[in-house]
Structure 1
Amino acid sequence: MFNFAPAPSPGPEPSDAEKEAKLNKLRHRRLATTLGLFLLLLSFVLVLWLLLLPSKPTFTLQDATVFAFNLSSANALTTTAQVTLSARNSNGRIGIFYDTLEFFAVYRGQQITAPAQLPPAYQGRKESAVWSPFLYGDAVGLAPEIGVALGQDLVAGTPTVNVIVRSKIRWKVGTFVSGGYHLYVNCPAIMNSGGRRSGIGGGEAAITYQFFLDCRVDV
């Protein structure tokens, strides 16, 4: 004759509050694990960044060919020029993505040409690049005081025009690509015409100015 022991009682069902508490505990564990992994990854990236410490690219204004730089009696400036700039990535382990490339000219703080946009580019480690955009400004109205100053500079033969480069760049280390950084390059160019106003595009042939000047680079 067999004796069967009664099945153990499953016990009372957990209440809704207990179920919710267990779920919250599980969520907190998952969140803590995810946060810990993220902080670990961030620390690794920061350490790698500090070890490599990328250097800003260096820019050089090589030359400018001026086809027109004419100031009218109404303080309107017409500009046509082609500028050549070189850029070098001095980093031995880091490449640079130029997501945007925009060039324009400024005189005494006033923009005098429309932005010239070039296609995105990539610059590998220790590589150099050369860009030669055309800059155009059609009868750009100048502020009265700037027009007077430009007229005086043209007579003296030493107008200084700043060639500006704006870009959004990203650093590339192996397969890792950083977020975007704003690049601003300022290249001052003194177009010395020897005191001849017509010497800068005043109806004569184009004039090429050789510079090879280092530009100021801010990232």
Structure 2
Amino acid sequence: MSLKESDYCDKHHGKWRRRIKRGCIGLLIFNFFLLITILLAWAIIQPHKPRFVLQDVTVYAFNASVPNLLTSNLQVTIYSRNRNDKLGIYYDRLDTYATYRNQQITLRTSIPPSYQGHKEVDVWSPFILGTEVPVAPYNSLALNQDQASGAVSLMIKLDGRVRWKLSTYITGRYHLYVKCPAFITFGPRTTGITVGENAIKYQLIQKCDVTV
């Protein structure tokens, strides 16, 4: 290859390197401004957490036995509303279960994944149950006392992962944690309504605490 041909090749490759470099810089600048635009839109919109309400609890079984075993069979109705008018919510995973004095007393029940559009409402009615679940001794004593007094305070919890959708942009997954107090009365003090054989329904309309 002659000297002139070598100079030509060096100049040719040099132009391509400069073009690639300018293209990469332009792409980085575009992505930077796109990210800034999304963050500004996110800050202006100010996303609201979904609102959850525990509407009712139907008790099919709630029996404590010796030694320190609890069998429970509950159906809960949970109302969820997306309060945002520009953001959708993907519920990728959502499990519900019951606790007594911070101890889980039922298995987790999965709610099918769903998408909640702007201002939309979903209502779920899953069954949650636990058969002969061991209860800590100190909780067993408190549970016996509560049942003797005719009232038990449970906590219905939901635990899952959500994503937010703004136009065509979808965020990463966020942890959703929901706590709904449920006050259940028994015996002559009961405020429930008999619905079928050995089942009592309690209308609660209890607002839940939501953390995202």
TM-score bucket (shorter structure): 0.7 to 0.9
Structure 1, unaligned runs of 5 or more: 1-8
Question: What SS does the corresponding residue of 1:69 show, helix, strand or coil?
Answer: strand
- 1:155 deviates by 0.8
- 1:139 deviates by 0.5
Structure label with greater radius of gyration: 1
Question: What SS does the corresponding residue of 1:159 show, helix, strand or coil?
Answer: strand
Match for 2:207: what amino acid?
D
- Which one of 177, 180, 194 corresponds to residue 173 of structure 2? 180
Deviations 1:2-27 (A, max 9, x none): xxxxxxx955957xxx9999998776
- Which one of 98, 101, 108 corresponds to residue 115 of structure 1? 108
How many aligned residue pairs are there? 206
- Which one of 142, 147, 160 corresponds to residue 149 of structure 1? 142
- Which one of 198, 207, 212 corresponds to residue 205 of structure 2? 212
- 1:30 deviates by 4.6
Structure 1 pair 73/40, CA: closer, same or farther in 2 (3 Å)?
Answer: same
Residue in 1 that maps onto 2:162 = 169
- 1:31 deviates by 4.2
8 Å Cα contact 1:86/1:130 also seen in 2: yes
Structure 1 pair 20/157, CA: closer, same or farther in 2 (3 Å)?
Answer: farther
8 Å Cα contact 1:156/1:194 also seen in 2: no
Q: Which has the higher strand share?
A: 2
Deviations 1:81-113 (A, max 9, x none): 100010111111111111112110011111111
Deviations 1:50-79 (A, max 9, x none): 121111110000000001111111101101
8 Å Cα contact 1:158/1:195 also seen in 2: no
Question: What SS does the corresponding residue of 1:191 show, helix, strand or coil?
Answer: strand
Does 2:34 match 1:41? Answer: yes
Match for 2:119: what amino acid?
K
Does 2:94 match 1:94? Answer: no
Match for 2:149: what amino acid?
A
Structure 1 pair 152/24, CA: closer, same or farther in 2 (3 Å)?
Answer: farther
Structure 1 pair 20/149, CA: closer, same or farther in 2 (3 Å)?
Answer: farther
In structure 2, C-alpha distance between the alignment counterparts of 1:114 and 1:186, rounded to whole Å: 16
TM-score by structure 1 length?
0.83
The within-5 A match list for 1:2-151 is: 10=3, 13=6, 29-151=22-144
In structure 2, C-alpha distance between the alignment counterparts of 1:61 and 1:193, rounded to whole Å: 19
Question: What SS does the corresponding residue of 1:66 show, helix, strand or coil?
Answer: strand
